[in-house]
Structure 1
Amino acid sequence: MGDILFLAHRVPFPPDRGDKIRAFNVLKHLSTNQRVHVVAFADDLADLKRANELKLGETRIVWRGKSQAVAGVQALLTGKPLSLTAFDSKEVRETVAGLLARYPIDTIYVFSSQMAQYVPENAAQKVVMDFVDMDSAKFKSYGATTGGVTGWMMRREAKLLGQYETAVAARADASLLVSDEEAALFRERTGAERVHAVGNGIDTASFDPAAPFEHMPAGDGPSVVFTGQMDYRPNIEGVTWFVEAVLPLVRARYPQATFAIVGRKPSAAVQALAAHPGVVVTGEVADVRPWLAAASVVVAPLKLARGVQNKVLEAMAMARPVVVSRAAATGIDHGGTIAVGETADEVAEAVAGLLADPMRATALGQAARQRVIDHYGWDAKLAVLDRIMGLGAPSAPRRAA
């Protein structure tokens, strides 16, 4: 059994955001049986120092400093998707070639479609492509709701990236998506055959209300909490809609209710929401668990959501009552242990109803925790990888997209 080369668009450590959480746990799982070498980009200066923390085979971290403007010009000049030109790097290409020459690598695990460009042409290795989500579908949704030049770029990205995803899947030995729904959509739009759903899990020992962490003092009124990366468009749009359309309805019944937006890199639009009554924007916090534990209700009011929302699994694991949009609930086998609403009235009623009935809220939270314990352990979710990684070697060399 040979080594694995793991290519990631972002350093998979620490597991403190959605893509890093999945990448970290996949990497941890793969490294139990085989030596794994890692090549990853860093877009945070702190991540440049993470190589020794991964404790794997050879690990190379490359700074991604290319601006969106430069990547955009390159995309237009080359006819490629911006998602590819933004991650195009001569250094990474040379690093990958060097690792493949030095080590007995028999499998290349590609995490996110941006990294598929580094799979060599005529690669003899088995290629496992973890798309996670179908990014072209995300850009198609963006393009349908955005006007002007930005909307045109989004529609262009959806088209070109969709073509690229199709080509990559045709050459890969296995294509992975994060949910059955996402896998079905991918098959429908690409015609790909070797497609597998490999879901996300949750560390229920860490995300446990009984775990050791510093608790926050109780506030004067009920607290509604949202957690997430706050420079990410779906999160920005979700909290903006909640503040403008839902929170006033909740505060009409509970004037002391607060809404905490917890997450790193809040955009200017998110920071401006702090001017609304009852809204708190925290920025980056060392640990989201104290905020979740203190929440009367956790919300995920996303209008656009792909795959499985880790923020929802984390809140469920912390035994909190959770209210989500239908989009945010997609892909989660919640068994009715979270409340789902779509309109502002529906979401506000679900939140206010839980605030009005603490016993029901507690029971719902406890049921949600038990649900993730029963269905969302990482070992169980990633067991399918053992079968996928054991697929036979390609019968003939494949050309990378």
Structure 2
Amino acid sequence: MDDLLLLVHRIPYPPNKGDKIRSFHLLRFLAQRYRVHLGAFVDDAQDWAHQQRLQDCCTDICLIGLDPRRAKLRSLTGLLSAEALSVAYYRNAAMAAWVKSKLAAGIRRVVVFSSVMAQYVEHEADDVCCIVDFCDVDSDKWRQYAAAKSWPLSWLYRRESERLLAFDRRIASVSRAALFVSEGEAALFRRLAPESAEHTDCWHNGVDTAFFDPALSFDNPFSADAASLTFTGAMDYWANVDAVVWFAREVLPRVREVIPSAQFWIVGGRPTADVRALAALPGVHVTGGVPDVRPYVAHAQAVVAPLRIARGVQNKVLEAMAMAKPVLATRAAMDGIEPNPAFDALVADSVDDLAARTVALLHEGDVGGLGTLGRHWVEAHYNWERNLASLARWLQPGQESWNEEQ
């Protein structure tokens, strides 16, 4: 086996949120084929308990604690320069020294997960085969944030969008491949960074269909007479917060006018104050972190994904589909999913339209069989091993850097 350096912005275990699910499966795939040297940050103290799990599958690991509050302050140094705040957020001298030692030892294959980690190998790009998994076009996410906020946040987010895009373009141009989570994200980046279009590609996420299996049995967390709707996700993530606040305050009241038994369950760790406040509304429940989200999905009449700001593929949608649940969603939430016109019956962006689709589904049930179709769709399009195989070709021996191929 050859050696490979894998740099990840957040420890890739446990696979309990979107980016960690993708990075965990990436690590597992690479560890079967290379001697992996893993460098990552730990921004949740509870994740240190999983250090041994990573040591068991890697040749070497470097985990460095990252205090989000201090990192935010450090990121402000970016205001004194032209760089993106996100890049400064993840700057660390110890990580830089560890990466430098690995490259000095002769490692020539590098996989970067999240472009901000490319700062540690940017100046070595001519000497290594560097693959960057951008996942999403994050600069466009910041652009969406800017449009949704008032000054001064609108200015700050717009600046971040511009600076991060400039950084990402520079990184992509010196990498062998710039990879994204969907063809839609890859196509957007090709438009934004035409100089790297020829080596911009994608590899799709997958779903563990044995874990998210509708045939499994779970205790019902809901009352028997409730018409339950479930949202799952990290509840300190602004796009998720915006989604549940909008649904709970605008959509659910219209649904409950027709179906008083309708209940909205917000399931996810670290809910913000805005999310916790929703529990005071009629029919809204905020669980906080739970050991297993599957009971809340399995026994719901439907899963809702009312995201108004989104990039890439929503794992929460794929997992619900894998459990054969109909998904009521906005177009933004479904944008990264392999399209099927049948799913459009449950997609809406306005309050009135989403409420109407919700009422119809709760009244009539899944008469169109969209839950079953979703399960089949996931099985056909979201297999981890099959989708990761498209990544392997960029790491084949031969050319040792993209620049040498030109």
- Regarding TM over 0.5, the answer is yes
Aligned to 1:200: 205
> What residue ranges of structure 2 are gaps of 5+ in the alignment?
none
The residue that corresponds to 2:109 in the other structure is: 107
TM-score, normalising length from structure 2? 0.93
User: Which residue of the partner structure matches residue 140 of structure 2?
Assistant: 137
| Correspondence 1:256 to 2:261 | yes
Inter-partner Cα distance in structure 2 for 1:147 and 1:331: 28
Q: Name 1:34's counterpart in structure 2.
A: 34
One-letter identity of the residue aligned with 1:305 = A
* Counterpart check, 1:75 vs 2:78: yes
- Asked if residue 98 in structure 1 is aligned to residue 63 in structure 2, the reply is no
Match of 2:347 in 1: 340
- Residues 384 and 295 (structure 1 numbering): CA distance in 2 closer, same or farther, change over 3 Å? same
The separation in 1 between residues aligned to 2:75 and 2:280, in whole angstroms, is 34
1:279 and 1:202, CA in 2 relative to 1: closer, same or farther beyond 3 A? same
The runs of 4+ residues in structure 1 deviating greater than 4 Å are 212-215, 395-398
Give the TM-score of the pair, scaled to structure 1. 0.94
- Pairing partner for 1:371 from 373, 377, 385: 377
Q: Would you say 1:354 and 2:356 are equivalent positions?
A: no
CA deviation profile, 1:271-305 (whole Å, cap 9, x unmatched)? 11111100001111111101101111101001111
2:13 aligns to what SS in structure 1? Answer: coil
Shift, 1:205, TM fit: 0.5
Aligned partner of residue 341 in structure 1, secondary structure: coil
Match of 1:234 in 2: 239
Q: Which of 144, 158, 162 is equivalent to 1:159?
A: 162
Structure 1 369/334 Cα, relative in aligned 2: closer, same or farther at 3 Å?
farther
**What is the distance in 2 between the residues matched to 1:143 and 1:381?**
33
Alignment of 1:261-300 (within 5 A): 261-300=266-305
1:49, distance to aligned residue in structure 2 (A): 3.2
Looking at structure 2, the residues matched to 227 and 316 of structure 1 have their Cα atoms a distance apart, in angstroms, of: 13
Amino acid at match of 1:234: A
Q: CA RMSD in A?
A: 1.8
Question: Is the Cα–Cα contact under 8 Å of residues 114 and 134 in structure 2 kept in the other structure?
Answer: yes
Find the aligned partners of 1:122 and 1:138 in 2 and give their Cα distance. 28
Cα distance in 1 for partners of 2:366, 2:143 equals 42
Name the CA distance, whole Å, in 1 between partners of 2:313 and 2:192.
19
**What 5-or-longer segments of structure 1 have no aligned partner?**
none
2:27 corresponds to 1:21: no
Are 2:319 and 1:317 aligned? no
The 1:395/1:10 distance shift into structure 2, 3 A limit, reads: closer
The one-letter code sitting in structure 1 at the alignment partner of 2:130 is V
Q: Determine the C-alpha separation between the residues in 2 that align with 1:332 and 1:280.
A: 28
Asked whether 1:329 is paired with 2:334, we answer yes
Residue 51 of structure 1, CA deviation: 2.4
* Structure-to-structure mapping, 1:184-195, within 5 angstroms: 184-191=187-194, 192-193=196-197, 194-195=199-200
Distance in 2, matches of 1:397 and 1:96, equals 22
Cα distance, 1:367 vs structure 2: 1.4
Check whether the contact 1:205–1:211 (CA below 8 A) recurs between aligned residues: no
1:125: how far off?
1.5
Q: Percent identity?
A: 41
Q: Is the 8 A contact 1:127 1:173 kept in 2?
A: yes
Shift of 1:117: 0.6
> Deviation digits for residues 23-74 of structure 1, max 9, x if unmatched?
0011111111111110000000122232210222101110012525522431
1-structure distance, mates of 2:216, 2:264: 24
SS of structure 1 residue aligned to 2:62: strand
Q: State the one-letter code of the partner of 2:45.
A: L
Aligned partners of 1:383 and 1:337: how far apart in 2? 28
SS in 1 for 2:234: coil
Contact 2:175 2:401 in 1 (8 A): no
Shift of 1:146: 1.4
Q: Which residue of 2 aligns with 1:146?
A: 149
